[in-house]
Amino acid sequence: MRSRAERRRVGEWVLRAALFAVLLVALWRSLQRTDTSRVARTTSATAFSKDLERIVASNAVGSVDLATDAMPSRADRDALVALRRNGVAVRWNGSPPPLALEATRAREPEARARLHIIGGGAQVLALVDSAGLLDSVRAGAGATVDAASIVGTVRVGAGTFAATAHAPKQETRRAVLVLGRADWETKFVMQALSEAGWVVRARIPAAPNVDVRDDGILPIDTARYDVVVALDSSS
């Protein structure tokens, strides 16, 4: 059976632990304290840039409720991030339509731009770049548009919403080396590659110890060739 002194010691530790817990809760609550004197500002994506000055000028704005009636511009999005990092809560509401745009480059030397669009439903979407209208498309579940060249940023809009993309830079293509026998298959592969815009070089055996080659005597390496096509005509 514990002595009176031991019971008192246990009791002291329990009370200390309880007090410590109370202090922790108080500290936590003090950090979560909301300033009831700060107000919530309701605005919309289209009106945000006009309201921003008033929001920033006022110390009383504690939160911003943004209705997504349009796609906020990049500057507006940056401003919202800045407000949030400075303690102003940002809440979004609304249901913007799903719309996405990606721009890639074809692998061929011509490097046409390929634009992949998703969204917009059945409505006709206009694809524009910095120079003007590129094309119009009903994307729905997805559509791809090829463009010979695009200038600047590509944009596709659905009402007040838009998606933008930049196409990767064009890469310089090196030659293609074709290895094959002297037959029509090699010939037409070379021609097809030429028609696709590739610079074609060939090494073709025409007789024992006789190779027809137009790539000189330099070794095959990636400094000269992007692709080596070896045709197995024995199959």
Partner 1 sequence: MSDFVFATAQYESGDWDSAPLVPANIIDTIARYTSIDVAPSGVIVPLSSPSLFRYPLVYLTGHLPVRFGPSERTNLQRYAERGGLLFVDDHNHDIDGVFHKTATEEISRTFGVPKPLVKTHPIYKSFFHFEDGPPTTSHELNGWGDNLVHKSLSGVERDGRLVLLYSSKDYSSEWNYHPENKRFLSVDNTKFAVNIVVYALTR
Nearer Cβ to partner 1, position 155 or 181? Answer: 181
Answer yes or no whether residue 218 interacts with partner 1 by CB under 8 A. Answer: no
Pairing of the two strands 89-93 and 61-67: parallel
Answer yes or no whether residue 212 interacts with partner 1 by CB under 8 A. Answer: yes
Contacts to partner 1 from residues 188-207, by CB under 8 A: 188, 190-191, 194-195, 202, 204-207
Pairing of the two strands 154-158 and 200-207: unpaired
Sheet containing 99-105, strands listed edge to edge, beginning at the edge strand earlier in sequence: 99-105, 113-119, 140-147
Answer yes or no whether residue 186 interacts with partner 1 by CB under 8 A. Answer: yes
CB 191, min distance to partner 1, A:
3
Among 85, 86, 184, 221, binds partner 1 (CB under 8 A): 184
Nearer Cβ to partner 1, position 71 or 202? Answer: 202
Answer yes or no whether residue 216 interacts with partner 1 by CB under 8 A. Answer: no
CB 193, min distance to partner 1, A:
10
CB 184, min distance to partner 1, A:
5
Structure tokens of 190? 């070379």
Look at the block and give the residue holding tokens 């310089």: 172
- The SS3 of residue 49 is helix
Handedness of CA 188, 194, 197, 198 (dihedral sign): positive
Q: What is the DSSP letter of 125?
A: E
CB 200, min distance to partner 1, A:
9
Answer yes or no whether residue 208 interacts with partner 1 by CB under 8 A. Answer: yes
Instruction: Please classify residue 24 by burial: count the beta carbons closer than 10 Å to its beta carbon, then call 0-12 exposed, 13-18 middle and 19+ buried.
Output: exposed
Residue 38 and residue 141: Cα distance in Å, rounded? 44
**Helix or strand (DSSP H, E) at 18:** helix 4-31
**Helix or strand (DSSP H, E) at 166:** none
Nearer Cβ to partner 1, position 127 or 204? Answer: 204
Nearer Cβ to partner 1, position 160 or 233? Answer: 233
Q: Of the listed pieces 85-93, 129-137, 143-151, 182-190, which binds partner 1 according to CB under 8 A?
A: 182-190
Nearer Cβ to partner 1, position 156 or 204? Answer: 204
User: From its phi and psi, is residue 120 left (phi > 0), alpha (psi between -120 and 50) or beta?
Assistant: left
Among 20, 97, 183, 220, binds partner 1 (CB under 8 A): 183
CB 234, min distance to partner 1, A:
8
In sequence order, what are the residues at sequence separation of 6 or more whose Cβ sits closer than 8 angstroms to the Cβ of residue 29?
none
Answer yes or no whether residue 233 interacts with partner 1 by CB under 8 A. Answer: yes
Residue 235 and residue 231: Cα distance in Å, rounded? 10
User: Which residues are near partner 1 by CB under 8 A?
Assistant: 181-188, 190-191, 194-195, 202, 204-208, 210, 212, 214, 233
